[in-house]
């Protein structure tokens, strides 16, 4: 969809746009009777709306956006909107809330455009500032967050954790090693004062330091995301107050040793639900891990790899790729094929037990492409037994539910309803029938601004050419 589909209608007065029937009003907050809308910046007409509050398709809906918010909704022909407001003809198109990738590692600003082109309008950056270990250059993610929010650079809304907090010594160069509870509390305070939204914990923490992190973060209303520290284990982590476990593979210690896998899966799912812990399955990443162990050259030649910045792309190459550089990659491949089997059992069990699932891709680690890899996660959820609606909910309404708990009073997003942030994707086909159609939106609205797909591609090509010349 191009900008020529946005048009200003001149009808010699105000155009009458009708509101929805009462049942539709109950679902979406639409008005039942003709309503005058004085303040509007964009109107989408003729939409086939999937609000994601239900799987119903609402036909012939008009959405009125004001600034960055959905201001009104009604059936075509019931709202009074000033003639000067730009209108987007969406007749026959499906409109859904934009997607959230709840686990990314931003390595370069160009990645943000790739997210938009895949319909991702919000990301949770769980890697803190990206540091180029070869040049020492640092990407200040909070500065990037501000640039995107101010409209100086196109991209999804960014929520971010700071540098991952780890034991002493840290697991790797991207983690901050902490030796005491006092150091832990101070690290949390510093990340809070810098303006980070979340805290990320890593593998090497002992119980004392992990407890101090969770306690300090809870006092500051910062949700704790992360791994299951080896010294604490799964049950200890579930009881600790850590809000989010960022990989389903964190449950390996429980399920790898299970004598009766079916019983162990059911028991684990019940325990996670009882603890109220949110899980980011990351099953698509495991499938990507298997693919690169089978044939890394094939993955390096996949469409989209060419848009990675050199500081990110280098870690995908055989020389530095920490997934293929192992003493026995064949055994590692067999292990992950086996684990992928029980992941297919655990994910639907978690869902059935009532665990809140969020989709996160772990992009841009090898071989998780920013943007497309989220669709791999959604496909993996469907493969494990979730319906397309349930899978899409992990990137939309489930995120809205999580943020309502994590940041009470914050602007809702992840649903199409009045008062929500105006993040919308426009599709030619119904993703509840063919979830793959999510991969190629015709256009999108991000924080109330229309984003043209062709223009986004041109910007990405220009940015990519620039860092290739350096």
Query: Is 466 part of a structural domain of the chain?
Result: no
Q: 398: buried, middle or exposed (CB in 10 Å: 19+, 13-18, 0-12)?
A: buried
Query: Is 374 part of a structural domain of the chain?
Result: yes
pLDDT at 467: 80
Q: How many Å apart are CA 51 and CA 250, to the nearest integer?
A: 33
ω into 105 cis (within 30 of 0): no
- pTM score, two decimals? 0.92
Rounded (10°) angle between helices 372-383 and 283-294 = 110
- In this structure, are 422 and 397 located in the same domain? no
- In this structure, are 221 and 72 located in the same domain? no
Q: Count structural domains, the chain.
A: 2
- In this structure, are 29 and 115 located in the same domain? no
Query: Is 125 part of a structural domain of the chain?
Result: yes
- In this structure, are 199 and 285 located in the same domain? yes
Query: Is 123 part of a structural domain of the chain?
Result: yes
Q: How many Å apart are CA 443 and CA 407, to the nearest integer?
A: 29
- In this structure, are 424 and 387 located in the same domain? no
Domain termination site, one of 364, 380, 406: 406
Give 324-333 contacts, CB < 8 A, sequence gap 24+. 324/292, 324/293, 324/296, 329/293, 332/293, 333/290, 333/293, 333/294
Query: Is 469 part of a structural domain of the chain?
Result: no
The CATH number of the domain holding residue 67 is: 2.30.40.10
Query: Is 179 part of a structural domain of the chain?
Result: yes
Which of 134, 145, 135, 133 shows the shortest CA–CA distance to 106? 145
- In this structure, are 121 and 171 located in the same domain? yes
Q: Spell out the per-residue pLDDT of the chain, length 470, in tens.
A: 433 333 333 222 333 333 333 334 434 455 456 888 989 999 999 999 999 999 999 999 999 999 999 999 999 989 989 999 999 999 999 999 999 999 999 999 999 999 999 999 999 999 898 887 677 788 999 999 999 999 999 999 999 999 999 999 999 888 999 999 999 999 999 999 999 999 999 999 999 999 999 999 999 999 999 999 999 999 999 999 999 999 999 999 999 888 999 999 999 999 999 999 999 999 999 999 999 999 999 999 999 999 999 989 999 999 999 999 998 999 999 999 999 999 999 999 999 999 999 999 999 999 999 999 999 999 999 999 999 999 999 999 999 999 999 888 888 999 999 999 999 999 999 999 999 999 999 999 999 999 999 999 999 999 999 887 76
Which of 153, 151, 158 shows the shortest CA–CA distance to 122? 158
- In this structure, are 110 and 11 located in the same domain? no
- In this structure, are 319 and 221 located in the same domain? yes
Q: What's the token pair of residue 162?
A: 């700071």
- In this structure, are 210 and 139 located in the same domain? yes
- In this structure, are 56 and 127 located in the same domain? no
- In this structure, are 236 and 104 located in the same domain? yes
Domain termination site, one of 384, 406, 428: 406
Structural domain span for residue 119: 100-406
Query: Is 426 part of a structural domain of the chain?
Result: yes
- In 3-state terms, what secondary structure has residue 59? strand
pLDDT at 32: 55
Q: Enumerate the H helices of 276-396 as residue ranges.
A: 283-294, 296-300, 310-313, 329-353, 372-383, 388-393
Domain termination site, one of 372, 387, 406: 406
The CATH number of the domain holding residue 293 is: 3.20.20.140
pLDDT at 38: 87
- In this structure, are 124 and 33 located in the same domain? no
pLDDT at 137: 83
**Backbone torsions φ then ψ of 223, nearest 5 degrees:** -65, 140
Query: Is 462 part of a structural domain of the chain?
Result: no
């Amino acid at each position: 969809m191009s900008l020529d589909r946005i048009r200003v209608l001149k009808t010699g007065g105000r155009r009458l746009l009708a509101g929805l029937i009462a049942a539709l009003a109950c679902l979406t907050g639409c008005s039942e009777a003709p309503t005058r809308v004085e303040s509007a910046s964009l109107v989408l007409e003729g939409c086939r709306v999937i609000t994601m509050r239900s799987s119903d398709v609402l036909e012939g809906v008009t959405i009125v956006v004001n600034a960055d918010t959905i201001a009104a909704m009604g059936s075509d022909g019931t709202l009074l909107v000033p003639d000067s407001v730009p209108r987007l003809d969406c007749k026959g198109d499906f409109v859904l809330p934009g997607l959230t990738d709840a686990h990314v590692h931003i390595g370069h600003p160009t990645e943000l455009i790739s997210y938009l082109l895949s319909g991702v309008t919000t990301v949770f950056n769980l890697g803190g500032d990206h540091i180029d270990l070869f040049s020492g250059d640092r990407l200040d993610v909070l500065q990037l967050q501000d640039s995107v929010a101010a409209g100086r650079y196109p991209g999804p809304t960014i929520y971010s954790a700071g540098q991952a907090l780890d034991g002493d010594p840290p697991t790797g160069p991207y983690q901050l090693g902490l030796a005491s509870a006092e150091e832990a509390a101070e690290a949390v305070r510093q990340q809070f004062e810098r303006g980070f939204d979340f805290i990320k914990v890593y593998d090497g923490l002992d119980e004392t330091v992990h407890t101090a992190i969770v306690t300090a973060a809870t006092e500051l209303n910062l949700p704790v995301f992360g791994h299951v520290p080896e010294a604490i284990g799964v049950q200890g982590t579930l009881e600790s107050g850590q809000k989010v476990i960022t990989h389903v593979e964190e449950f390996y210690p429980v399920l790898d040793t299970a004598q009766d896998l079916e019983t162990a899966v059911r028991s684990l799912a019940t325990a996670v639900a009882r603890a109220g812990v949110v899980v980011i399955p990351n099953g698509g990443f495991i499938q990507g891990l298997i693919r690169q162990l089978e044939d890394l050259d094939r993955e390096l030649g996949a469409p989209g790899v060419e848009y990675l910045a050199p500081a990110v792309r280098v870690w995908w190459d055989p020389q530095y790729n920490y997934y293929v550089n192992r003493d026995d990659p064949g055994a590692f491949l067999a292990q992950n094929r086996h684990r992928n089997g029980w992941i297919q059992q655990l994910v639907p069990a978690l869902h059935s037990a009532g665990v809140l699932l969020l989709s996160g891709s772990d992009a841009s680690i090898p071989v998780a492409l920013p943007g497309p890899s989220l669709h791999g996660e959604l496909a993996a959820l469907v493969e494990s037994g979730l319906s397309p609606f349930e899978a899409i909910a992990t990137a939309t309404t489930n995120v809205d539910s999580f943020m309502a708990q994590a940041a009470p009073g914050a602007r809702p997003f992840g649903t199409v309803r009045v008062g929500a942030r105006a993040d919308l994707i426009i599709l030619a086909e119904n993703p509840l029938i063919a979830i793959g159609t999510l991969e190629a939106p015709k256009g999108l609205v991000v924080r109330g601004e229309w984003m043209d797909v062709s223009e986004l591609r041109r910007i990405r090509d220009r940015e990519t050419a620039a860092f290739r010349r350096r």
